[in-house]
Amino acid sequence: PAAGGGGCGGPGGERLEKAVRQLMEAMTVALRQGRCATLAASVCGAKAGEAASLILSLDRLPASGGRLSAAVGGEALASLMSRVEDVLRDMAAAVSDTAEHAMATALAATDVARKSKALRALVAATEGAAAAGSEGESESEGASESDTDAEEDRKGEGEERAAEAEEAEEAPLAAPRPEGTAAAAVEARLKQALAGDGLPLEAPAASRGTPAN
């Protein structure tokens, strides 16, 4: 994650760098607390061993108070009890110190886990945003290509229509309709009949309604 966050730019990259830095600091604190807890546990173990040795020494002494005083002596017995008190006090302090360091180590480890989870979530969100941006660019490119294809199709249709119009203009006129052919035949027969009767084929201009000069 540290490598991925360091190479990014922009606000997302800065957030990744900050998250990685915080995680590294939390790991350093947890490591320091762990070392302190280990040293405290070592001291506590030494004190516990000393107390166990002292208890074994006391177990060899007579259980009766009178016999104990006669065997050891009053002054030596008082010194022994003072030694027992010191050992127990030191062991209690070592146990308390070990517990404190153990608790601090547990809290530091919890902080590391929390920041590691936050960093993973931030990396996933950054990658998701980058993937969404790539998809948006791909869709934009696809839309541009579709618009270009549609424009080319419209241009091709326009060229085809223009070509069809030119062909229609260059095509020969259509043959006369059957009705026109029949009328011409009737007119020819009428002219033959008039010619057979000795009548002029066309009426004079005056009869056609042409005004005289």
Contacts of 23 (CB under 8 A, 6+ apart): 1, 112, 115, 116, 119
Write down the pLDDT at residue 169. 59
pTM for this model (two decimals): 0.50
Write down the pLDDT at residue 21. 92
Residue ranges per structural domain of the chain: 2-121
pLDDT tens digits, 55-86: 888 777 776 666 776 767 777 778 888 888 89
Write down the pLDDT at residue 30. 93
| Residue among 103, 110, 101, 116 nearest 36 (CA) | 101
Question: How does pLDDT run along the chain (213 residues), one tens digit per residue?
Answer: 444 444 445 566 788 889 899 999 999 999 999 999 999 999 999 988 888 888 888 777 776 666 776 767 777 778 888 888 899 899 899 999 999 999 999 999 999 999 999 999 988 888 888 777 666 566 565 556 666 666 677 676 767 766 666 666 554 444 444 445 666 776 777 677 666 655 455 544 444 444 444
Write down the pLDDT at residue 130. 77
> Token pair of 51, please?
């107390």
CA distances from 90 to 23, 42, 76, 94 (A): 36, 13, 21, 6
Contacts of 30 (CB under 8 A, 6+ apart): 105, 108, 109, 111, 112
